[in-house]
Amino acid sequence: MITLEGFMHMQHVIADDGAAQPIAGEHSIYLITAEMSGPGGPAYNYIVFRDHSGANKVMMSGLVIKRRNSPVRALRGVMTPPHDSGLPKGHFSKIIETEIFRGPMKEYLRKMTMAVEALQFINAQNLNYRPEDKNGDTPNSIAHTLIEAMGLTFPEEASHFWAPGHERILLPKNWRSQYAA
């Protein structure tokens, strides 16, 4: 028996290289999970927004940056144009891409706006990054927070990897985007 989810996955055109291409007119959002330093290493999660042709348009991720005159690094959420590889070669290997949204451009742009609003809130907190704090805030916390801010669910299949901080949500429990429906 085919489920609705199974049917939705069949609504792709398979390209010559075997990759699934979305149906024209629908835009999508993906959670990308990559391993650092090879198999079994910590996972790094980031979000990619794709247009109706399947082309990457925007990446959103967490980034750790050095502060001036401080040994404590800062955790920031960033929105950037997509890179060809997405991540530095030789240090990361992509292990899973999970579609977390597919729909019309208007809803896609609303979700993107909700994520940008959450990024601004996160960055205004001036968060610290301390890798020795195993339960602390990390770039993975930012990815999970953005998914929640867009009203989406963190995909179960991406939670099987060791991704420090991925369960932390960096927004208050009562936070709601002004763009939420």
Q: What is the pLDDT of residues 14-63, one digit of tens each?
A: 445 556 554 558 999 999 988 887 677 788 899 999 999 999 999 999 99
6 part of a folded domain = no
Overall number of domains in the chain: 1
33 part of a folded domain = yes
166 part of a folded domain = no
Per-residue tokens: 122:
């996160």
Q: Find the angle CA(166)-CA(122)-CA(181) to the nearest 5 degrees.
A: 90
155 part of a folded domain = yes
pLDDT number for residue 121 = 95
138 part of a folded domain = yes
23 part of a folded domain = no
- Sequence-distant (≥ 6) Cβ neighbours of residue 51 within 8 angstroms: 27, 57
178 part of a folded domain = no
Query: Is the pLDDT confidence value at 148 over 90?
Result: yes
Range of the domain at 94: 28-160
CB neighbours of residue 175 within 10 Å: 15
45 part of a folded domain = yes
- β-partners of residue 61 are 78
Question: Which pTM value belongs to this model?
Answer: 0.80
Question: pLDDT per residue over 71-102, tens digit each?
Answer: 999 999 999 998 765 555 566 777 889 999 99
